């Protein structure tokens, strides 16, 4: 029986091969996603693609499953929000994860507005148009 808490390498599913090609896909663990987010320094951001590429490289995979890694970013963000509300001082900076084009993430606790506030507090410039995004 496989352990649900272990990262797995699987063949890239046929339906995803048009996008990613053939090879190995990492199904990451939430703890691996969290550990990588914790490494993003204050005042910097990481895109979802950069996050997936770093996870895949560390595991010896060609790609990381975008759906699973996205779900884990949300789980990590929700846990970080709980830690913040509990008054903990060491919190995973999930607000530093942005879309590839700099747009902020709708599914993080508090949505893009809360994410923008946290990023601005760290010195990031935020473009406030139809959607909030980090200005590189």
Q: Which domain holds residue 33?
A: 8-98
Nearest Cα residue to 25 out of 12, 39, 13, 35: 12
pLDDT of 1 strictly over 50: no
Question: Taking residues 87-115, what's their average pLDDT?
Answer: 95
* CATH number of residue 73's parent domain: 1.10.10
Please report whether residue 126 resides in a domain: no
pLDDT at 4: 56
Please report whether residue 127 resides in a domain: no
Q: pLDDT tens across 17-46, in order?
A: 999 999 999 999 999 999 999 999 999 999
Percent residues over pLDDT 90 in the chain: 87
pTM over 0.95: no
Please report whether residue 105 resides in a domain: no
Task: Return the sign of the alpha-carbon dihedral for residues 123, 128, 132, 136.
Answer: negative
Which of 92-101, 103-112, 122-131 is predicted least confidently?
Answer: 122-131
pLDDT of 2 strictly over 60: no
Q: State how many domains the chain has.
A: 1
CB-hemisphere CA count at 13 Å for 48?
A: 18
Which tokens in the block code for residue 31? 């703890």
Buried b (16+ CB within 10 A) or exposed e, 34-68: bebbeebeeeebbbbeebbeebbeebebbbbbbeb
Question: Taking residues 65-88, what's their average pLDDT?
Answer: 96
Q: Phi and psi dihedrals of 119, rounded to 5? A: -70, -40
Question: Taking residues 69-77, what's their average pLDDT?
Answer: 96
Please report whether residue 49 resides in a domain: yes
């Amino acid at each position: 029986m496989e352990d649900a808490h272990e990262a797995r390498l699987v063949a890239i599913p046929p339906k995803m091969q048009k996008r990613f090609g053939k090879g190995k896909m990492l199904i990451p663990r939430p703890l691996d996603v969290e550990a990588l987010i914790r490494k993003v320094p204050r005042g910097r951001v990481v895109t979802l693609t950069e996050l997936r590429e770093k996870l895949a490289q560390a595991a010896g995979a060609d790609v990381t499953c975008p759906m699973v890694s996205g779900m884990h970013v949300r789980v990590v963000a929700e846990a970080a929000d709980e830690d913040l509300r509990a008054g903990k001082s060491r919190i995973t900076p999930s607000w530093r994860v942005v879309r590839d084009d700099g747009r902020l993430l709708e599914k993080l606790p508090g949505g893009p507005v809360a994410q923008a506030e946290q990023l601005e507090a760290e010195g990031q410039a935020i473009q406030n148009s139809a959607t909030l995004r980090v200005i590189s």
